[in-house]
Amino acid sequence: MAEVVHMIDSEVFLAFSTYATIVILKMMLMSFMTSYFRLTRKVFANLEDTALVRGEEDKKKLVRVDADVERVRRCHQNDLENVVPFVLIGLLYALTGPDLYTALLHFRVFVGSRFFHSVAYLTPLPQPCRALAFLVGMGSNLSMAYRVLSTALYL
């Protein structure tokens, strides 16, 4: 990590910025998807939220749990557990000055695996589709973490 100052201005860092932003946007999209399901299916977590939909029915009955909404929320939670580590480790990884081709491979594999993971979760596709998508993304993260630790280890 001897020349990180120059690295931050590199193609690797631009590529990191691009892929990190794309996958964070994908994660934020899950919030909108949850809201969409809640509003169209009239399933809410808070009593005051029932004011967002019209209808004469008993509002208290709309505060309930729905299997599809919970599925979207689990998908969102899985993104939080995987996308955030990717961006944090990926930032440090980009600063270690990796080879551009290798870095792009890590970023593309991770981002691709997370899009496929969400499709596999929400369709849902039969297992082990989602499990493999999870493992591929995790593999990219572990490989970048190995590079960071082997380049920058300072305990």
Tokens 């691009």 belong to residue: 18
128 belongs to the binding site for a copy of itself (CB under 8 A): yes
Q: How far apart are CA 83 and CA 25, in angstroms?
A: 10
According to DSSP, residue 10 is labeled S
Q: How far apart are CA 38 and CA 45, in angstroms?
A: 9
Per CB under 8 A, contacts with a copy of itself among 30-69 are: 30-31, 45-46, 48-49, 51-52
Q: Which one of 43, 69, 72, 82 is in contact with a copy of itself (CB under 8 A)?
A: 82
CB of 150: closest distance to a copy of itself in angstroms? 10
Provide the β-strand partners of residue 63: 44
CA–CA distances in Å: residue 81 to residues 2, 61, 125, 152: 31, 32, 21, 24
**Per-position x/- string for 96-115, each x denoting binding to a copy of itself as judged by CB under 8 A, each - no binding:** --------------------
User: Cβ(86)–Cβ(141) under 8 Å?
Assistant: yes
Q: Which one of 36, 57, 64, 88 is in contact with a copy of itself (CB under 8 A)?
A: 88
Q: How far apart are CA 135 and CA 2, in angstroms?
A: 32
Q: Which residues bind a copy of itself (CB under 8 A)?
A: 1-6, 8-9, 11, 13-15, 17-18, 20-22, 24-25, 27-28, 30-31, 45-46, 48-49, 51-52, 71, 74, 76, 80-82, 84-85, 87-89, 91-92, 95, 121, 124-128, 130-131, 134, 138, 141-142, 145, 148-149, 152-155
